[in-house]
């Protein structure tokens, strides 16, 4: 087990490096010059070189000079690889010291992250909790009461839940109460400790809606996994031994049915990062998703780089955790 | 005796009657599908309806979807069945024409996904080696990218698609070509996933007895791949691809909703739910409901159809598993 874990953990590093590397080169090769986006105006009216220098984007001078108008600035890559690599390692060094640098808008990224991280974390925690709760609960109910109206309603809900886009569902959350009861759910964010009531009022409805997609998928999975396990011989044996149904279910069935559930838990977290971005955008919550979205729109290099890296870190960690848990639950995996 | 007499007669079937036979066989298959999987058939019907709408939208849309045709935010009426939006465009026409974006993208991605996943997956599963290594590691790197953010990055790198109005009979293909950047972005993810599925099947079949037997009698790699592996891999790819379509449509809608999908002003379901329209949803809910329901119904259709297809085609699941 330890060897397996070590191998997985070591594998983590090159993947993250590749992600940062691709993002860095990709961002730098985006057509156009960030200076123009931020300062506005024409290339000849501002001192590009000075602006690049003050924002640590000297590589853009080289890229602009050698840009031959092909896709992005790929044509300039031959001449500018050196400076790009230097810049990349500079940035990487900063990241490893825990300092992502400054945003192109000015202001330290670190302090933004500090302010915004709790918002996104709370969204993720709430959504994940709702997803797990409803997914496991209704998936189990559907399996236990297979082919009853209860089962059918869970299945109908889950197939619809998977089909409605989350931004539409969130729009309806704002729209339906407004039309029916002339009540508009509050937008924005309230800090949890300052005003817990307002916090819950603003946090629960949207995260509940955001969890629909994930829990719909989870319900289906839990249901089919449980049905599959419940048909196995060892379950029949357990019942034949005269074990209580509760014991059969919890000790024998549930544990094995968890294996496929675990596999999607990792992917669920990756999906939630995108979901959180949309939620923050619609509900006007000052979280990391909003920050990332604005940064991508303005090609705010450092911010995008930092956010992609942290997001990838979260995803890789989630997948790693799932893999390790998986190996703990299912001993067969370790020896592959 | 009778059998020997029948043989030459069977050989002499005219092409016309064999086409008729095939048609009858196909119809019988469809009927069986409908009987066995009514929900899946309903899904298929939804998909077909939206596909037809997408193909004929330039003809059936009552107004020009890209132009203001009346006062803004008019209610539902005989003149505008689904009212008008904030700039006075006809909502029904926009929903009809907007289907082009989702459907063209969905079908293009499916075609690319099926062909590329099969090709890459078979090669990397059968030959393994450095090619396989590179593909698999790239897939793992791709999986570490946060989905929506990766799409945002690709679109901002390649530039947003420049969709223009197409009305000819080939409109759907032209729309797909206009969106090639989006198609690329979505296909990348789809192929990395699909390729893994195919590779897994190819790996497990590679040492199956019947493949060994084929190799023993001297079949070439090409023949083994094309005649022995390909037919066995196809069901998995088709199932994987159909089940992924919903995600592609939702992804494009989300991108357009965030303003990074198709060009502003293009009729697109995701985009019509965003922007200046949002301010007026409370006064004119139909502006939000029409495109939202259209996306949901299309994805629902693909999901139902994909599930039924999985139950029928995926041999691992045949007879077992819940049939949600």
User: B138-195 pLDDT, tens per residue?
Assistant: 888 888 888 788 888 787 777 777 777 777 778 888 888 888 888 888 898 888 888 8
- How near does any CA of chain A get to the CA of B317, in Å? 10
Residues in B closer than 8 angstroms to A228, CB to CB, are: 320-321
Distance CA B100, CA B110 (A): 15
Mean pLDDT along residues B110-134: 90
Q: Which residue's entry shows tokens 């991508």?
A: A296
Of residues B258 and A51, more confidence is placed in: B258
pLDDT band at A43 (very low <50, low <70, confident <90, very high): low
- ipTM confidence: 0.85
Taking CA atoms, B83 is separated from A81, B98, B224, B282, in Å, by 55, 16, 59, 14
A296 and B144: CB-CB below 8 Å?
no
What Å distances lie between residue A199 and A205, A206, A284, CA to CA? 11, 12, 14
pLDDT at B298: 94
A298 touches chain B (CB under 8 A): no
Return left, alpha or beta for A59; rule: phi > 0 is left, psi -120 to 50 is alpha, else beta.
alpha
A299: pLDDT confidence band, cut at 50, 70 and 90? confident
A273, B141: Cβ pair inside 8 Å? no
Name every residue whose Cβ is closer than 8 Å to that of residue B226 and which is 6 or more positions away in sequence. none
Taking a C-beta distance cutoff of 8 angstroms, is the pair A158, B324 a contact?
yes
- DSSP letters, B143-166, are HHS-HHHHHHHHHHHH--------
Contacts 24+ apart (CB under 8 A), A78-87: A83/A58, A83/A59, A84/A24, A84/A25, A84/A28, A84/A59, A87/A24, A87/A56, A87/A58, A87/A59
**Distance between CA atoms of residues A188 and A180, nearest Å:** 22
> What are the residues facing A108 on neighbouring strands?
A102
A58-115 pLDDT, tens digit per residue, is 777 777 777 766 666 777 777 788 888 888 898 888 888 888 888 888 788 888 899 9
Residue B84 β-bridge partners: B90
Name the residue with higher pLDDT: B71 or A156.
A156
Locate the chain B residue with the closest alpha carbon to A228: B321
| Residue A136 forms contact with B (CB below 8 Å) | no
| Average predicted confidence (pLDDT) for chain A | 84
Residues of A in contact with B292 (CB under 8 A): 164-165, 168, 171-172
**SS3 (DSSP) at A285:** coil
Average pLDDT, integer, range A213-222: 91
B285 to chain A: nearest residue by CA? A175
Find all residues with CB under 8 Å of A122, minimum gap 6, and list them.
A192, A203
pLDDT for the residue A142: 92
Grade residue B322 by pLDDT with cuts at 50, 70 and 90: very low
**How close is the nearest chain A Cα to the Cα of B142, in Å?**
8
> E strand or H helix at A171, and its extent?
helix A166-181
In this predicted model, what pLDDT tens digit does every residue of A301-320 receive, in sequence order?
Answer: 788 888 999 999 999 888 88
Pick from B144, B292, B300: which is nearest to A16 by CB? B144
Residue among B149, B273, B300 minimizing CB distance to A168: B273
CB contact under 8 A, B153 and A315: no
- The pLDDT score that the predictor gives to residue B9 is 47
Residues A301, B281 contacting (CB under 8 angstroms): no
Going through B15-66 in order, the beta strands assigned E by DSSP cover none
pLDDT of residue B200 exceeding 60 = yes
Q: What pLDDT digit, counting tens, does each position of A144-172 carry?
A: 888 899 999 999 899 999 999 999 999 98
Closest CA of chain A from B322, distance in Å: 5
pLDDT at A25: 83
Which residue of chain B is at minimal alpha-carbon distance from A180? B282
A234-261 residue pLDDT tens: 888 988 988 888 888 888 888 888 877 8
């Amino acid at each position: 087990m330890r060897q397996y874990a070590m191998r997985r953990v070591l594998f983590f590093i090159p993947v993250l490096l590749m992600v940062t590397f691709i993002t860095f080169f990709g961002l730098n090769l985006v057509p156009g010059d960030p200076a123009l986006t931020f300062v506005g105006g024409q290339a000849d009216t501002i001192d590009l070189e000075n602006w690049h220098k003050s924002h640590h984007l000297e590589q853009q001078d080289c890229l602009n000079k050698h840009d031959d108008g092909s896709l992005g600035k790929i044509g300039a890559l031959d001449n500018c690889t050196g400076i790009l690599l230097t810049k990349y390692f500079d940035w990487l060094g900063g990241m490893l010291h825990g300092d992502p640098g400054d945003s192109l808008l000015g202001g330290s990224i670190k302090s933004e992250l500090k302010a915004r991280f709790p918002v996104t974390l709370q969204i993720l925690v709430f959504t994940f909790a709702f997803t797990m709760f409803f997914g496991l609960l209704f998936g189990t109910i559907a399996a236990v009461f297979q082919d009853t109206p209860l089962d059918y309603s869970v299945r109908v809900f889950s197939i619809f839940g998977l089909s409605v886009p989350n931004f539409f569902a969130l729009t309806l959350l704002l729209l339906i109460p407004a039309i029916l009861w002339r009540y508009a759910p509050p937008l924005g964010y309230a800090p949890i400790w300052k005003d817990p009531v307002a916090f819950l009022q603003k946090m629960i409805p949207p995260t509940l809606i955001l969890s629909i997609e994930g829990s719909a998928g989870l319900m289906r999975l839990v249901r089919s996994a449980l049905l599959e396990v419940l048909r196995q011989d060892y379950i029949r044996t357990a019942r034949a031994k005269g074990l209580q149904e509760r014991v059969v279910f919890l000790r024998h069935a549930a544990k094995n049915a968890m294996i496929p559930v675990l596999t999607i838990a990792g992917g669920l977290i990756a999906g939630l990062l995108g979901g959180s971005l949309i939620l923050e955008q619609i509900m006007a919550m000052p979280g990391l998703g909003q920050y990332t979205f604005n940064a991508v729109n303005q090609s705010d290099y450092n911010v995008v780089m930092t956010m992609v890296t942290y997001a990838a870190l979260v995803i890789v960690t989630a997948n790693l955790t799932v893999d390790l848990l998986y190996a703990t639950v299912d001993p067969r995996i370790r020896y592959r | 005796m009778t059998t020997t007499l029948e043989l030459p007669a069977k050989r002499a079937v005219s092409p016309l009657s064999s086409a008729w036979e095939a048609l009858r066989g196909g119809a019988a298959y469809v009927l069986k599908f409908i009987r066995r999987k009514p929900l899946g058939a309903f899904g298929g019907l939804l998909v077909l309806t939206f596909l037809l709408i997408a193909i004929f939208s330039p003809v059936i849309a009552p107004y020009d979807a890209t132009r203001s045709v009346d006062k803004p935010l008019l209610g539902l009426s005989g003149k505008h069945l689904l009212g008008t939006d904030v700039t006075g465009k006809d909502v029904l026409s926009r929903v009809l024409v907007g289907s082009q974006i989702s459907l063209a993208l969905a079908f293009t991605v499916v075609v690319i996904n099926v062909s590329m996943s099969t090709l890459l997956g078979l090669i990397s599963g059968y030959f393994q080696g450095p090619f396989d290594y590179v593909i698999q590691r790239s897939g793992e790197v791709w999986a570490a990218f946060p989905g929506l953010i990766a799409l945002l990055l690709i679109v901002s790198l390649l530039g947003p698609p420049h969709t223009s109005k197409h009305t000819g009979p080939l409109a759907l293909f032209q729309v797909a070509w206009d969106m090639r950047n989006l198609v690329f972005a979505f296909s990348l993810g789809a192929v990395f996933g699909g390729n893994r599925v195919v590779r897994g099947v190819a790996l497990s079949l590679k040492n199956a007895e019947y493949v060994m037997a084929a190799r023993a009698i001297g079949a070439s790699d090409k023949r083994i791949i094309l005649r022995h592996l390909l037919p066995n891999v196809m069901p998995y790819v088709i199932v994987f691809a159909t089940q992924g379509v919903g995600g592609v449509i939702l992804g494009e809608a989300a991108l357009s909703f965030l303003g990074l999908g198709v060009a502003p002003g293009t009729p697109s379901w995701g985009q019509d739910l965003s922007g200046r329209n949002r301010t007026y949803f409370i006064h004119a809910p139909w502006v939000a409901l029409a495109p939202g329901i259209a996306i949901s119904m299309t994805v629902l259709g693909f999901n139902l159809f994909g599930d039924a297809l999985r139950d029928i085609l995926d041999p691992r699941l045949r007879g077992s598993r819940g049939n949600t």
